[in-house]
Amino acid sequence: MKTITGFLGMLLLAGYAYCQYIPPKEWQIKTALMAVPEEYRDAAKVYGYDAMGNFTTLREGNNAYIALADNPSNENFSTAAYHKSLEPFMARGRELRAEGKDFKQVFDIREAEVRDGKLPMPERATLCVFTGTVEKETGEIKDPYLRYVVYIPFATGESTGLPTTPTPPGHAWLMDPGTHRAHIMISPPKSN
């Protein structure tokens, strides 16, 4: 009986692993680095996912950037890269989401922790988000698109002179004004 139960357990695990395809480490690193400004790519740290889908360090780095590989549990392809000064903020978000917190809970907890001085937040730092469509046969990224976010905690429209509502592509605007997560959104026009 133990042998049959053990065998069924192994089949279930194998079936789960099959359902959640984890791309090879090299592909994760290559595509994560697409979000990093070119001059920082060679020495950026890269986070991604191991064969079981666990979040892990895929490559150590020694410069100002940290890259995130595409999350295989999300349907759409998206990688990101950010200045290392944002790591405490990003790590805290990952920790809270792992605890099952939703977007609003994560936002409110980090807001309180930044205001209380428990969570460090840089005066300004950049995040780059790279999206596209994965070509199934080749693994290449089609229709690549890169947008930029510049965090400037607690900035307002008045303190920056920026609009606080979405603007046409290519025009900067301030999202989440007055909060720890205030950031300038820069979304270049998409090429046809």
DSSP conformation letters of 36-51: S-GGGGGG-EEEEE-T
In the chain, the number of structural domains is: 1
pLDDT given at position 19:
59
178 domain-assigned: yes
* Burial of residue 134, with CB atoms counted within 10 A of its CB: 0-12 exposed, 13-18 middle, 19 or more buried: middle
**Can you tell me the distance from the alpha carbon of 74 to that of 116, in angstroms, rounded to the nearest whole number?**
33
| DSSP assignment letter at 118 | S
Mean pLDDT computed over every residue of the chain: 91
- Structure tokens that stand for 33 in this block: 């680095």
> Model-level pTM?
0.86
Band the pLDDT of 17: cuts 50, 70, 90. Answer: very low
pLDDT given at position 191:
77
73 domain-assigned: yes
1 domain-assigned: no
90: containing domain: 22-186
CB 115 within 8 A of CB 83: no
- Distance (Å) of CA 170 to CA 151, 177, 189: 17, 19, 6
**Can you tell me the distance from the alpha carbon of 5 to that of 135, in angstroms, rounded to the nearest whole number?**
39
The residue-averaged pLDDT of 117-121 equals 97
**Can you tell me the distance from the alpha carbon of 49 to that of 17, in angstroms, rounded to the nearest whole number?**
13
**Can you tell me the distance from the alpha carbon of 40 to that of 25, in angstroms, rounded to the nearest whole number?**
19
pLDDT given at position 192:
64
The residue-averaged pLDDT of 4-13 equals 38
**Can you tell me the distance from the alpha carbon of 111 to that of 93, in angstroms, rounded to the nearest whole number?**
11
Band the pLDDT of 2: cuts 50, 70, 90. Answer: very low
152 domain-assigned: yes
| pLDDT, tens digit, 9 for 90 and up, residues 147-192 | 999 999 999 999 999 999 998 888 999 999 999 999 999 999 987 6
16 domain-assigned: no
Q: Is the pLDDT of residue 13 over 60?
A: no
Q: At what angle do helices 87-98 and 103-115 cross, to 10 degrees?
A: 140
> What percentage of the chain exceeds 90 in pLDDT?
84
71 domain-assigned: yes
111 domain-assigned: yes
